[in-house]
Copies of this chain bind each other. A is one copy, B any other.
Amino acid sequence: MKIEQKGKSNVKITDSFWKKRLEIIREHVIPYQWEALNDRIPDTAPSHAIENFRLAAGEAEGEFFGMVFQDSDVAKWIEAVAFSLENEPNEELEQIVDEVVALLGRAQDENGYLNTYYQVKEPKNRWTNVRDNHELYCAGHLIEAAVAYYHATGKRQFLDIMCQYADHIASVFGPEENKLKGYPGHQEIELALVKLFDVTANENYLNLSKYFIDERGKQPHYFDLEKKERNEKKPFWFNDDYAYHQAHKPVREQKEAVGHAVRAVYMYTAMADLASKTNDESLKKACETLWENVTQKQMYITAGIGSMVFGEAFSFDYDLPNDLSYTETCASIGLVFWAKRMLNLEVNRKYSDVLETALYNGTISGMDLDGKKFFYVNPLEVQPEASEKRNDKKHIKPVRQKWFGCACCPPNIARLVASIGHYIYTQNQNELFVHLYMGHETQIEIAGNQVGIVQKTNYPWDGKISINISPESEQQFTIALRIPGWSKGAVVKVNGEIVDHEPLMKNGYVYINRNWSENDQIELALQMVIERIQANPLVRNNNGKVALQRGPIVYCLEEVDNGKSLPSIFLPRNAELTAKFEEDLLEGIVVISGQAERMEDAGWENKLYRPVEEHTRKVEIKAVPYYAWCNRQPGEMIVWVNEKR
């Protein structure tokens, strides 16, 4: 079964949850980031990213400034704009991008090379440190942006620029004797080259991606050869181990996710892409093994990944400390990318459940509700005083920041949210797989037939979804609906008639094959109850604790609702919990509340320890969605709540 990826989404989001986020991206985040890229935001770390391209084009004078991967911020911004234009055309914005693209064209070297750091600062040292210096990474983001912009506008200029650059890269790296045997220290170009192949059908791009993946981790190690060339002696800083770059061994031998989490999931994404494009079974198996490791042993309940600040990295199985996590916004975004590709390999809710968890929790927690501030790190437990006073918790910011010196996350979340419509469906010739539920309208070609689809739902607050199916003409095909893993039960109706769906279930999807005709109506009712979730006992920090979840939404307790010292709250196993939609709170959320106990702190009279006494008082607790935390007064936050049983 070959699943096709659609390049352009013509999904029109009407969803109450996502529509306002798309508007924020369009109306606030994209313009704000444009100002940031042009250094017009006071009191924030300067970006210099556009100016760097002017320098490279010889249209300005000065020094390169910023991270070695500063170009990628421009790329991610253009990509976000492109996805946003798909949703809502905007001539003014398009014109700005056209001007940036023209600048990129002028900055590009005649041979196709385009990287402002090297062009401006170290023109002689190109491709001498692909381990650390992000040339291939930046190229990857620019390629992704060019592809997205082409899909959104049909304009080829940017795509042509990037094809030229990709051709240049293919002339530098590859198996031929005169070429470098290298691959990027920060994976990204691999997945981008697959996209470039998809849009151009030029197999060179697919082959180059495959080369980067297959070459990785081979001995003698390219990073060592390259390092020797640079005459660099010191051991690599990450335990002297290329596990940081997932280059410690060939990718097919990798069984556990290690190292920098973003690099890891970007690589796994490309691996899954290549496995499906090239029918590579060993690569597919490697992806599945790594997926199991990440999602069954190294993932927070919010779909945050990366449990240590050192190396922004995975640590080891079941090591998921809530107050020391890294859980970078970009890593959860990468997990979304990867999950989507795994769905192309196999339609299975083990992938779409994680995709959904990431979308509703660990990714969007990275942005405040106004789109004005961002988290790099998305911890599951915050005590502001510890973030301030403990060096080992300095990375756990208790409030979102306006912008970062290393500004990868804000444009990444912008491009993810702007492209949300791309994650609802995958399909093949005769089957349409519905992975996500959100209000939208779209036209999809199934079995050669244009099918109009309208989804209506109040998801994620309510489990009722109605889907209107209107093919041009009556036709038989399959619609496969995901029944989320969290759902305690589902009722499926077609045109008002209950479908006995259990026999139609496969890997968590209900396969409805029938003759569809105009205005056929699917109704799906997912039972959305408040769940107390427990963690595998091997997760040592969560023993005796529960997290509250309802539908795809993971909840947390905040100080603003529950007072200080949140870990002294104990939720009895049998305490009744109620869910209620509060329209005016945090832009409209379902709140969970109930009665819990709090360790009585009166009576301690300056004692630190004493023989146990049972002094608790009843307290009302109020839990809010994790993604919405820290949108009111800052303070403590916990996801995992002590339980009394």
Partner of A608, one of B296, B386, B600: B296
Partner of A606, one of B296, B534, B607: B296
Contact B319 A539 (CB under 8 A): no
Contact B608 A535 (CB under 8 A): yes
Contact A315 B389 (CB under 8 A): yes
What is the interface of chain A mostly: helix, strand, loop, or mixed? mixed
Complex CA gap A547/B315 in Å reads 29
Chain B nearest CB, measured from A325 CB (Å): 11
Partner of A644, one of B308, B534, B607, B645: B645
Partner of A310, one of B391, B546, B573, B601: B391
| Chain B contacts for A565, CB-based, 8 A | 537-538, 540
| Chain B contacts for A610, CB-based, 8 A | 533-534
Residues from 549 to 607 in A contacting B, C-beta threshold 8 Å: 565-568, 570, 573, 598-601, 604, 606-607
Contact B296 A392 (CB under 8 A): no
Closest to A600 in B: B537
| 9 pairs of residues in contact across A and B, judged by CB atoms under 8 Å | A296-B606, A315-B386, A532-B611, A534-B609, A534-B612, A534-B613, A535-B609, A540-B567, A540-B568
Residues from 285 to 336 in A contacting B, C-beta threshold 8 Å: 292, 295-297, 299, 301, 308-311, 315-316, 319, 324
Asked if A385 lies at the interface with its beta carbon under 8 angstroms from chain B, I say yes
Contact A385 B544 (CB under 8 A): no
Closest to A308 in B: B390
Asked if A536 lies at the interface with its beta carbon under 8 angstroms from chain B, I say yes
Complex CA gap A607/B540 in Å reads 15
| Chain B contacts for A607, CB-based, 8 A | 296, 536
Complex CA gap A612/B316 in Å reads 24
Asked if A473 lies at the interface with its beta carbon under 8 angstroms from chain B, I say no
Contact B544 A308 (CB under 8 A): no
Asked if A642 lies at the interface with its beta carbon under 8 angstroms from chain B, I say yes
Asked if A431 lies at the interface with its beta carbon under 8 angstroms from chain B, I say no
A543 and B299 in contact, given A319-B386, A533-B609, A533-B610 (Cβ under 8 angstroms): no
| Chain B contacts for A109, CB-based, 8 A | none
Complex CA gap A599/B600 in Å reads 27
Complex CA gap A198/B566 in Å reads 51
Contact B315 A599 (CB under 8 A): no
Asked if A614 lies at the interface with its beta carbon under 8 angstroms from chain B, I say yes
Contact B543 A599 (CB under 8 A): yes
Contact A534 B308 (CB under 8 A): no
Asked if A187 lies at the interface with its beta carbon under 8 angstroms from chain B, I say no
Closest to A611 in B: B531
